[in-house]
Structure 1
Amino acid sequence: MGGTIVVVDDEQAITDLIEIYLKNENYNVAKFDNGQDALDYIEREKVNLAILDIMLPDLNGFTVCQRIREKYHFPVIMLTAKDEETDKITGLTLGADDYITKPFRPLEMVARVKAQLRRYTKYRSMSESSEGMISCSGLRMNVETHECWLNEEALSLTPTEFSILRMLCEHKGRVVSSEQLFHAIWGNEYYNKNNNTITVHIRHLREKMKDSVEHPKWIRTIWGVGYKIET
């Protein structure tokens, strides 16, 4: 598969462990113990994915994620402390695609990296091969340029948000379950009933679209089932 993965953590034992397992899968690994050096490297080199710890000596992982999302669409995975739900939600809200809870199992980490890279590669190939625009209830989505407009006003979406909104538009008028969205976008086995990843991304989409749960103009929650966009 290959590709370059940036790993940012001030604990050398963790970056060394991640490096060993990723190199075994033929990835190139660039390790950093602070956020600014990682950002400088990303400016210079082609990067396929970043793994960011939240607690760093200079910029925290949230800030690094925000800076990355200002320019780049490659997947970002956050390393979070055990049971820190707020950190997970914050990371997803700022544009992260997934999170791994410390302490983690190295093989699960590798599986999540592969899943994110598969999703991103699939997303790019779909964008490159697709023609025309998707139009849906005041939304226009250009799958080739990753641009989206709502009532002619540009929306800045992460790749995951774009993928979710695209799937809802392609199934307009029909309910899409959280499980369907999760598997279509990530394509791995880590979904469970308590997984709030989709919920967080939907909430962030609503914020960007100035939509509401109580009186939705675009994304409706069908309680206990999933989400849909009306025709």
Structure 2
Amino acid sequence: MHAPEPRFAKVAAMIADPTRARMLALLMNGQAHTAGELAGVAGVTAATASSHLAQLVAAELVVPRAQGRHRYFRLADERIGHALEALSLVAERGAGDAKWQQPDYLPLKRARTCYCHLAGELGVAWLDGLLRRGHLQAQPGWFALTPVGAEALAAAGVALPARLPQSEAARRRFAYPCLDWSERRDHLAGMLAVNLLAHAREQDWLRAQPGSRALTLTPPGRAALAAWLQG
């Protein structure tokens, strides 16, 4: 008797197609994109893009949303983003330092989105700064936001819940480590990380690069984050 085909085999086959992989890579920036934008980054026609997007929707990797005359697509949820980031770690495990200095990769190494939180050198450095200044306290598999940290982030304008998570399960989801695929060190994930990135973008501390997950740190952003990024 043959064992049933593992569900992940179908998901892996869906991700393995180069066109769909390029689309998913762009969607890892945590934003919604039109079919035309995804067709452009994948280098295919609108009709071909629609066919691939229909398959991604059917596989529950991507969800559509109609707004006005346009239809937008985004990753189904954060778990898909984490799975793609984990695959990136496996795919790049043999990459040497020289690769990350190439023009196509260097901006991604400096700062990029990992679904809805910040990754790359900047993401790792921000987490280091939060820990170094006592704003976060490391726990086994997650981070506790300290009273000093809550006060500092609120003063910086970062949105925080009126009442911080109380149960350990909720606190684990609020702030936890995510292994970075270019740095091989942790950056911050969880709802706190989502709020930090959202605030940084709203304040124009970080700007998205068109057609890419890469982010640019602006001069105001460098000044605003200096307290966390200084050694």
Q: TM-score, normalised by structure 2?
A: 0.29
Question: Comparing both chains, which one has the higher relative contact order based on Cα–Cα distances under 8 Å and sequence gaps of 6 or more?
Answer: 2
Higher alpha-carbon Rg:
2
